[in-house]
């Protein structure tokens, strides 16, 4: 029985890690708003709360599955509880991404901006924003997991292993994004695409995530090539 669960467990962990990249990028960008001595704290709290939230939601798995039921219909489109959460989460992610892109581009050259403007973020406010996205990603992740495996212990194990991987990977990813500003804009565009994808999924218009991740991987590769070319020059 254990051997039969290994392959689903590995598959689920791989899927959760891929889905968790969105979370890591979002947390890393928000952590960049804080002083150096608070960034690691925000990352660990954000990822740790994501694990607690997912483990807690697994205890209410029957309630989570009820979210897939239709609540009402708009223009012949069925809207469920999950759909509402995904739409709100998508709007929030698009708003945050566009706002950050604006700050990184339009306000980047304003000479009257105080030097300490970059570190004006409030820890509690940023943590609240992370919790909101954690909730959206957690519900989407759990419903996806239920469709892949039946054993509850496999889901719990996958969540714990995934969060440990995220904790290890979060600091290098955050350091890389902070070191290369062009990749920060790329990451924000990636989050914007995820927000559009969440909204579309909420309205039952499925955009294959493989398309999104492939397009962003290609853009990432182009950015690396451009960076290497500039260094050589």
Residue 208 to residue 221: CA distance in whole angstroms: 21
Higher pLDDT, 150 or 95: 95
Assigned domain for 57 exists: yes
Assigned domain for 111 exists: yes
- Token code pair at residue 193: 């695409």
SS (H, E, C) the chain: CHHHHHHHHHHHHHHHHHHHHHHHHHHHHHHCCCCHHHHHHHHHHHHHHHHHHHHHHHCCHHHHHHCCCEEEEECCEEEEHHHHHHHHHHHHHHHHHHHHHHHHHCCCCCCCCCHHHHHCCCHHHHHHHHHHHHHHHHHHHHHHHHHHCCCHHHHHHHHHHHHHHHHHHHHHHHHHHHHCHHHHHHHHHHHHHHHHHHHHHHCCCCCCHHHHHHHHHHHHHHHHHHHHHHHHC
Please write the tens of the pLDDT for every residue from 129-167. Answer: 888 888 888 877 777 777 677 777 888 888 888 888 888
Assigned domain for 221 exists: yes
DSSP-derived letter for residue 109 is T
Assigned domain for 54 exists: yes
Residue 209 to residue 207: CA distance in whole angstroms: 6
Give strand ranges (E) for 2-150: 70-74, 77-80
At a CB cut-off of 8 Å and minimum separation 6, what does 107 contact? 113
Please write the tens of the pLDDT for every residue from 62-92. Answer: 677 677 787 888 878 888 888 888 888 889 8
Confidence category of residue 1, pLDDT binned at 50, 70, 90: low
Residue among 194, 193, 81 nearest 137 (CA): 194
Expressed as residue numbers, the domain containing 225 is 2-67+79-232
Q: Provide the pLDDT for residue 67.
A: 74
Domains: count for the chain? 1
Assigned domain for 73 exists: no
- Whether residue 54 contacts residue 159, with contact meaning beta carbons closer than 8 Å, is answered with yes
Least confident of 107-111, 171-175, 191-195, 227-231: 107-111
Q: Provide the pLDDT for residue 121.
A: 59
Assigned domain for 72 exists: no
Burial class (CB in 10 A: 0-12, 13-18, 19+), 139: buried
Assigned domain for 41 exists: yes
Q: Provide the pLDDT for residue 113.
A: 46
Confidence category of residue 110, pLDDT binned at 50, 70, 90: low
Assigned domain for 29 exists: yes
């Amino acid at each position: 029985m254990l051997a039969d669960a290994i392959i689903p467990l590995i598959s689920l962990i791989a899927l959760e890690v891929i889905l968790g990249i969105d979370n890591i990028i979002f947390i890393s960008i928000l952590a960049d708003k804080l002083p150096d001595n608070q960034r690691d704290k925000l990352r660990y709290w954000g990822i740790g709360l994501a694990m607690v939230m997912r483990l807690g939601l697994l205890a209410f798995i029957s309630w989570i599955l009820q979210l897939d039921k239709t609540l009402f219909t708009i223009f012949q489109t069925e809207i469920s509880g999950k759909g509402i959460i995904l739409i709100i989460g998508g709007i929030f992610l698009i708003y945050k991404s566009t706002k950050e892109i604006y700050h990184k581009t339009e306000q980047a050259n304003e000479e009257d901006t105080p030097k300490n403007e970059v570190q004006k973020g409030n820890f509690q406010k940023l943590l609240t924003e992370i919790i909101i996205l954690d909730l959206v990603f957690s519900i989407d992740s759990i419903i996806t997991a239920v469709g892949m495996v039946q054993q509850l212990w496999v889901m719990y194990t996958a969540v714990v292993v995934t969060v440990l991987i995220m904790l290890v990977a979060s600091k290098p990813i955050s350091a890389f994004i902070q070191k290369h500003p062009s990749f920060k804009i790329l990451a924000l565009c990636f989050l914007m695409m995820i927000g559009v994808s969440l909204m579309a999924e909420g309205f039952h218009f499925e955009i294959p995530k493989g398309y999104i991740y492939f397009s962003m991987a290609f853009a990432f590769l182009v950015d690396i090539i451009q960076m290497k070319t500039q260094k050589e020059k």
